[in-house]
Amino acid sequence: FLWLVFFCRARKHLPFDQYDWGPIRRRLLTHSQYWLQIPIGGASMDSSFPRASNPRTRSCPSRLKAFIGSSSSYEDGIDFVAKVAKLLALNIGINPPGTRKLDSVSEGTADILRMLHFVTPYFNPSNIGTWTFTLGAFLHYFSYEVCHRIGVAASVHTLRRLHPNLVEKLLNVEPYLRHVDIPPAELVVLMDALLPLCQQALYSKNGHVGRAGEAALVYLSQIDPVHVTPPFLDFAIQALDISAVNLAHQAPSALSALTRLVQPSLRRQPSILLSRLPELLRLSLAGVDSNDQNKTIRTLILYRNLTSWLPIGSICSSSCMSLEENGKESGCTHLGKDLMRSISAVVTSDEYLSAMKNLPETSVLSQPNMLTDGEDDVTELLIEEANSAMADWVLGFLDRVYDLLRAAGEREKSGKTASGVASRHSSSDVQHARNFSRILKECLWQVFSSMDEEIYSQALQSVTRFLAEETLPSAAKDAAALCQAVCAVRFSDNSRVNKGAQLLFPVLTEDLAHQSNKTLTYRIRCLAGAVRRAGKAVYFHRNDITRALSIALASRDKNVLKMGCKLLRHTLASQSDSYPVITSYAPRSSSVDHSFVLGKSAELIGNEVDWLSPDGEQVDFVYELLQTHVMRPIADLKKNSGDETMQGEINALEETTGNEKLSISSVNGSNLRRCLRIIRYALRGGSGILLDMYDDSNHEPNDETRQGISMIPHEEAVRFLLNASSEESRDGLNKMRKQICAFVVLMMSIIASETMDSETDLGGTASARQNYLARVSSDSKICKEVSEISMLLLTRRGAQFRCQEGKTIWNAQKQLVCDFVISAQTDHMSAIMHRAGLFGNPQFVLYKDGEDGGKTIPRRLLVTRVHLFYESIQRNSSFETPRKLRRLQNKKPNKTSEGKLFNSSTDTNREFTKIDKIFDTSNFSSMDGYEGIMDGLFSLSCHTNTQVRAAGIGVVDYGVTRFGWLVRLRVPRLLAALTLKDDDMKGIYGIPSCFQLSKQLDSQGKRRRMAEVMKGVCSLLSVNRAVKELMGSEKSRLSFVQTLCETDAVISQLPTEEMQKMFHYYQSGKYFSKRTSFYH
């Protein structure tokens, strides 16, 4: 294997006319039986017959693997096949030095064709064995190398046209490029041999081989889509026909192949797909089947891809602005002009077409292409027919979606346990259900974005009728996705009417007060989806939405309450965040040399994304919602805590026990849980508009502490929105984040005060306490809600959730539509031009736009990528804002600790009566609030409940990615707790005193509370940032080693059943691996 790596690297620097690759090629092909694991021959009874043994298996030395980058035996095997395919593709069209080409194909190509003929029987779909996967991998890699070589050859021709002197110097450095062109006749013969193998691999029983065959087919179709795509489109359409019973098992594979062949066929010759489109749409509708989720997913992906390249309705041309006109200002660049022409030069040459005509009639490539694009009348006729077919297909597709929703059962959900196992089946079922919902949502979004206004009106009437007539609680999430696509704003102008919202909002909000809980849950969930991208229409219907929120959030049914929280979240996000309008995702057609073109890559130049941003009225509405459903319930907690009956019970209990002050809260637990849950959902939707207030009463806006610290991009955008709102809204929103931080710190202080000491025995009054008086710290739901709110305040600066997962999904979808020939061409061109200093500017990075920039993506993916970049700016602000707050705090002339909010000695009984103090934000800074939250999280990490402790540690681990410098001051406190040297440190940074807890026994005479705190302290020290601080200096390392040496005396004081756990915490933490690596 190591020799293969060396040969692959040396191939660029050895001229073909000076070095003969024949011996190496023949050696590899001779042992193809071995490395392809093909079963040939067997043991013979005749011992006199000589037996040839297989080559000895040798593993690559581990010290040499660093040079080749492999890390496992599986990767070694796959990389071996890839290197073999690369060397074999190098030999196409090559004869030994000093010989002349006598036959129709070269010696290298002839050897490869013999090997392909040799392995053809093993590609049968029913032929399953150890060789199956290896053959599929070889087909994939070899087809890719052929595709890549075509792209590199096109790159050399383009560079020779643009920079002839550069190419001459390049050929001297990499002489193999002189013979990089594949002879057209040999390319035809190779594709004729490879395409039948792709067809058989596509329908293999092995799923991995099927995907490999699909990828190989895409590589070859991108070389010559005019001759490759028609037969395979016909094969796939034939497999979709319900009358072909013997081909029914091929339908899922056929749908996947159709998805990948849409763009190549449209780009080179639209008539190939347009002539087959009516039949394709008619037959594929049966693929949306509630009884076959796999086939349904593939059909939805096909429709998503089809509508990404073809609009539904009138297909109009949109001419893009040239790079010379607007290239520098737009931040885009091209590598050349009309790069597609260089690629198609090979397959349009006379030699290639002549070789294509000489193929036998049984060849896949010899099937006649009946239609051509030379006649404009034929193309226009096909476009009109396609428009009519897609208009009829939309209504049928929506009927199929309705059937899916009707057949939907109860959704799979992750369990509440720490393992996350699904509540009914398995966690894999949860992932399948989530993936299905995501694909259905993306498909519906793209279908509605591609409609023209006439077809959209028809589809809107159909959806409105469906929602008005049927209630499907089990399909609420998918129905909400349908409502979101229908009600999404279609124009960036707020003055234009949103027809979808105008029809659906009255239907979904009609007579909600008299509906059953199931109907109310379904309607509110659909309404939450409808408002998500509805723009200014939400403000116009604010009375109906506000009434729906009041009904849902006041309900005692937990499902209705959850749906109300979702409606609040999506309403806040819709009215406070910016997003592209849905019509920005619609595909664009273009004209090249005065000819109509479909399937061309989307471009930003001249086709900017239309965004919808909230105005002042919408910001005022956001402030009104936050005041009504967040700040007012917080203030109402003071009234609930002053309940005379509850307070009287507390006083009576104090007299009975003889305690002057019991740490028991009289606040209503149910109301507190409801309040915290609503706050969490409100932050998920509206945290992006809640900025940190830098200018408090101690510092004026023009203070010198602000000099040299500029606003980050996200802050500038939000400030611009706030300036358009009223003064009351602007001031209230500027203070709200600090007020919520103060409330969360107050809750953490109450929880910490109740868990700071060991449990005490209340004697006979214990049952009374359990029945009447609830401690806040004993309610795990309240504690976990506080933890989740803390995570949002520390790490969230926008409404989007899991934006990093969106980038991963985008990369996967981009890979499915990538044109690998153009990609290879532009990658090679940019690498050569970078080396020559002819491309790029160190001062800024330009976006490679369109086909001439190496992209082959539809408009949908382009707009999605721009939106993901916007979300990444919001996410980056969660890192930049804490650093800015730290710089501002360090610039203060008089830094004191008076702003500390966390207090573990809080009087729980009286604290809720002082809750109105949190509305005064002049006594503390934003940084004080976040530091108080971090102290509270440290306290929750030492909680008595295991789940609360795990939640607190998880939030700390995530929160220190933004506020990592806060860990440095807390590491000595954690080490002191491990050695019981914290007698006078009770409550500092939220951690109880382990020394004092060692003197306290519970009702069973054990130190359980001490064990719980020690577990939390060990977990906090195992956080990556804490480990970094421990190993950061010699002094800290010495302190850490001394601490570990004193653990035996501490563990001996713990309960017997806790000793083994503590040994695990001490010796198996993350810091243990760091410690051993340090010693070694």
pLDDT tens string 66-111 = 555 555 555 566 778 888 888 888 888 888 776 665 567 888 888 8
* Per-residue model confidence (pLDDT) at position 319: 42
pLDDT tens string 325-374 = 444 456 788 888 888 888 888 888 999 999 988 888 888 887 665 555 45
Nearest alpha carbon to residue 475 among 545, 420, 405, 541: 405
pLDDT exceeds cutoff 60 at 656: no
Name the helix (H) or strand (E) containing 164.
Answer: helix 164-173
* Per-residue model confidence (pLDDT) at position 482: 96
Identify the bridge partners of residue 589 per DSSP, sorted by sequence position.
Answer: 317
The token pair that represents 201 in the structure block: 């691999």
pLDDT, mean of residues 528-548: 94
Nearest alpha carbon to residue 174 among 60, 327, 15: 15
pLDDT, mean of residues 422-433: 62
DSSP-derived pairing of the beta strands 590-592 and 847-848: unpaired
Q: Please, where are the H alpha helices in 796-917? A: 803-817, 820-836, 859-890, 908-911
Buried b (16+ CB within 10 A) or exposed e, 55-69: eeeeebeeeebeebe
Q: How far is 787 from 795, CA to CA, in rounded Å?
A: 12
* Per-residue model confidence (pLDDT) at position 705: 43
pLDDT, mean of residues 374-387: 75
Q: Please, where are the H alpha helices in 91-224? A: 107-119, 130-162, 164-173, 184-202, 207-223
Extended strands (E) in 802-916 = 847-848
* Per-residue model confidence (pLDDT) at position 711: 78
* Per-residue model confidence (pLDDT) at position 651: 54
The token pair that represents 536 in the structure block: 């200014």
Contact 619, 725 (CB under 8 A): yes
Nearest alpha carbon to residue 96 among 5, 29, 25, 190: 25
pLDDT bucket at 595, cuts 50 / 70 / 90: low
What is the CB neighbour count within 10 angstroms for residue 789?
24
* Per-residue model confidence (pLDDT) at position 1030: 83
* Per-residue model confidence (pLDDT) at position 242: 74
* Per-residue model confidence (pLDDT) at position 214: 92
Extended strands (E) in 594-686 = 595-597, 611-612
pLDDT exceeds cutoff 90 at 786: yes
Q: How far is 910 from 690, CA to CA, in rounded Å?
A: 30
The token pair that represents 906 in the structure block: 């809080």
Cα diameter, the chain: 111
What is the CB neighbour count within 10 angstroms for residue 406?
13
pLDDT bucket at 444, cuts 50 / 70 / 90: very high
* Per-residue model confidence (pLDDT) at position 1036: 82
Q: How far is 221 from 906, CA to CA, in rounded Å?
A: 72
The token pair that represents 335 in the structure block: 């590598």
* Per-residue model confidence (pLDDT) at position 509: 93
pLDDT bucket at 258, cuts 50 / 70 / 90: very high
Q: How far is 151 from 974, CA to CA, in rounded Å?
A: 60
Q: pTM of the prediction?
A: 0.88
* Per-residue model confidence (pLDDT) at position 914: 63
* Per-residue model confidence (pLDDT) at position 1037: 81
The token pair that represents 1029 in the structure block: 């601080």
Identify the bridge partners of residue 286 per DSSP, sorted by sequence position.
Answer: none
Contact 675, 668 (CB under 8 A): no
Q: How far is 223 from 154, CA to CA, in rounded Å?
A: 11
pLDDT tens string 936-951 = 999 999 898 889 999 9
Q: What percent of the chain has pLDDT over 70?
A: 80
pLDDT, mean of residues 834-844: 76
Q: How far is 271 from 382, CA to CA, in rounded Å?
A: 7
pLDDT tens string 845-867 = 788 888 888 889 999 999 999 99
pLDDT exceeds cutoff 50 at 49: no
pLDDT bucket at 762, cuts 50 / 70 / 90: very low
* Per-residue model confidence (pLDDT) at position 130: 78
pLDDT exceeds cutoff 60 at 57: no
* Per-residue model confidence (pLDDT) at position 985: 87
Contact 343, 187 (CB under 8 A): no
Nearest alpha carbon to residue 236 among 252, 222, 218, 220: 252
Contact 822, 856 (CB under 8 A): yes
Q: Which amino acid, one-letter code, is at 591? A: S
| Whole-number Cα distances in Å, 218 to 262, 629, 799 | 10, 54, 38
pLDDT bucket at 376, cuts 50 / 70 / 90: low
* Per-residue model confidence (pLDDT) at position 750: 87
Q: Which amino acid, one-letter code, is at 16? A: F
pLDDT, mean of residues 699-722: 69
**Sign of the four-CA dihedral 920, 926, 932, 938:** positive
The values of phi and psi at residue 793, to 5°, are -70, -35
| Whole-number Cα distances in Å, 455 to 316, 387, 502, 990 | 15, 11, 17, 61
Nearest alpha carbon to residue 791 among 648, 637, 680, 924: 680
The values of phi and psi at residue 25, to 5°, are -60, -45
> What value does the mean pLDDT of the chain take?
81
pLDDT, mean of residues 127-152: 89
| Residue 41, phi-psi category: left (phi > 0), alpha (psi -120 to 50), beta (remainder) | left
Q: How far is 1004 from 11, CA to CA, in rounded Å?
A: 77
Extended strands (E) in 310-397 = 332-333
Contact 741, 929 (CB under 8 A): yes
Name the helix (H) or strand (E) containing 590.
Answer: strand 590-592
Q: Which amino acid, one-letter code, is at 747? A: M
Determine which of 37-46, 161-170, 173-182, 406-415 has the lowest per-residue pLDDT on average: 37-46
pLDDT exceeds cutoff 90 at 206: no
- The 8-class DSSP code of residue 631 comes to I
The token pair that represents 669 in the structure block: 């637990």
Virtual torsion, Cα 262, 265, 270, 276, nearest 10 deg: -60
pLDDT, mean of residues 925-930: 90
pLDDT exceeds cutoff 60 at 883: yes
pLDDT, mean of residues 1052-1058: 79
What is the CB neighbour count within 10 angstroms for residue 144?
21
Contact 194, 139 (CB under 8 A): yes
If you average pLDDT over each of 56-65, 299-308, 971-980, which comes out highest?
299-308
Contact 791, 930 (CB under 8 A): no
* Per-residue model confidence (pLDDT) at position 326: 47
The token pair that represents 956 in the structure block: 């700390």
Q: What angle do CA 980, 981, 982 make, to 5 degrees?
A: 95
* Per-residue model confidence (pLDDT) at position 100: 62
Could you tell me which residue, 441 or 421, shows the higher pLDDT?
A: 441
pLDDT tens string 480-518 = 999 999 999 988 777 778 899 999 999 999 999 899 999
pLDDT tens string 298-330 = 999 999 999 999 999 876 544 444 444 444 456
Q: How far is 519 from 525, CA to CA, in rounded Å?
A: 10
Contact 198, 217 (CB under 8 A): yes
Q: How far is 485 from 467, CA to CA, in rounded Å?
A: 14
309 burial (CB, 10 Å; 0-12 / 13-18 / 19+) is buried
Q: What percent of the chain has pLDDT over 90?
A: 37
Determine which of 598-602, 764-768, 856-860, 964-968 has the lowest per-residue pLDDT on average: 764-768
